[in-house]
Amino acid sequence: MPTESLDVMLARVERLAARWHDPSPDARTRIVLAPTTPSRSLDEGELRVVAQAARAMGLMLHGHLSETANCVRFIEDSFGMKPVHWLARHDWLGRDVWLAHLVHVDAEEIALLAQTGTGMAHCPQSNCRLGSGIAPADALDRLGGRVSLGVDGAASNESADMVSEMHNCFQVHRAAKGPDAVRAQDVLRWATAGGADVLNLPALGRVAVGKTADLAIFPLDHPRFAGLHDRAIAPVVGGGIARPRDVLLAGRHVVRDYAIPGLDLSALAAQAAQVVGSIAA
């Protein structure tokens, strides 16, 4: 595959950051230095250089780690230590770092993530889809660690919506670890306030005075929710499709009565089908 030198890549990121990066607490656009898998996307000697460059530019760091048992074995065999400890050796932990997956981490690694404030992007549907396992998001949360909920990409999560992600998260943890593993409120917090915290966006993620008015409004009168004792947790425990009735972004309507003003969803779906068809061919 085409590659570029580290200096060229960092210069490109710096130009992008100068043009697009918004450091404000309710930012809509940010640039992040995110080699997909640090152990494979960079030479070991480049990790610290990338971390120093990101911090000099005021950018966060992101990557995938310990997604599968094979990923863990590769780092252990290549560098002689557990993945989280390996990143720590190269200054790749902290409140300006968040890592996707973290399925196969042990108790010492979880404690180190919590101690350093390093964030987790928990992607349970992707992990289930690929048969990778269930990340210990609940254990990190209990230690006061920073947990967010993500969907990963369409390559390993065909629906890629947060409603089914929350429902799956609620189900798999309880199925594997018992009914006390997670509550619906925990999952909702990871998907909202947890995400804002992990991304260092303090003005977002909560419905409160002084916060940015980002709201997704779901009707709870569907027959599937009629038997619930508490309809406020319906999207988490009952699942369903991610079809909000209204969405407000900083108080501005971007979805109104199930429609996105000015967007032809039928035409967009047809275009997406053409692209998928060309890839499949």
Q: Report the predicted TM-score, pTM, of the whole model to 2 decimal places.
A: 0.93
Q: What is the pLDDT of residues 89-132, one digit of tens each?
A: 999 999 999 999 999 999 999 999 999 999 999 999 999 999 99
Can you read off the two tokens belonging to residue 279? Answer: 């890839």
HSE, side-chain direction, 13 A CA sphere, residue 156: 16
What integer is the mean pLDDT of 191-212? Answer: 96
Q: What is the pLDDT of residues 12-52, one digit of tens each?
A: 999 999 999 999 999 999 999 999 999 999 999 999 999 99
pLDDT, position 3: 79
Domains of the chain in sequence order = 6-207 (3.20.20.140), 213-281 (2.30.40.10)
pLDDT, position 281: 78
Q: Where residue 1 falls among pLDDT bands split at 50, 70, 90?
A: low
Cα 121 to Cα 149: distance, rounded to the nearest angstrom: 6
175 with 169: CB under 8 angstroms?
no
**pLDDT over 80 (residue 223):** yes
- CA distances from residue 192 to 88, 170, 199 in whole angstroms, order as listed: 27, 15, 11
pLDDT, position 2: 67
Give the residue among 106, 279, 52, 99 at the shortest CA–CA distance from 198.
99
Percent of the chain scoring above 90 in pLDDT:
86
Q: What is the pLDDT of residues 227-251, one digit of tens each?
A: 999 988 998 999 888 889 999 999 9
Q: Which residues contact 11 (CB under 8 A, 6 or more apart)?
A: none
Cα 51 to Cα 191: distance, rounded to the nearest angstrom: 27
Residue 173 main-chain phi, psi, to 5 deg:
-65, -40
224 with 240: CB under 8 angstroms?
yes
Q: Are strands 60-65 and 32-33 parallel, antiparallel or unpaired?
A: parallel
105 with 66: CB under 8 angstroms?
yes
Q: Where residue 213 falls among pLDDT bands split at 50, 70, 90?
A: very high
Q: What is the pLDDT of residues 170-186, one digit of tens each?
A: 999 999 999 999 999 99
145 with 135: CB under 8 angstroms?
no
Cα 67 to Cα 47: distance, rounded to the nearest angstrom: 19
Q: What is the mean pLDDT of the chain?
A: 95
**Beta partners for residue 255, in sequence order:** 247
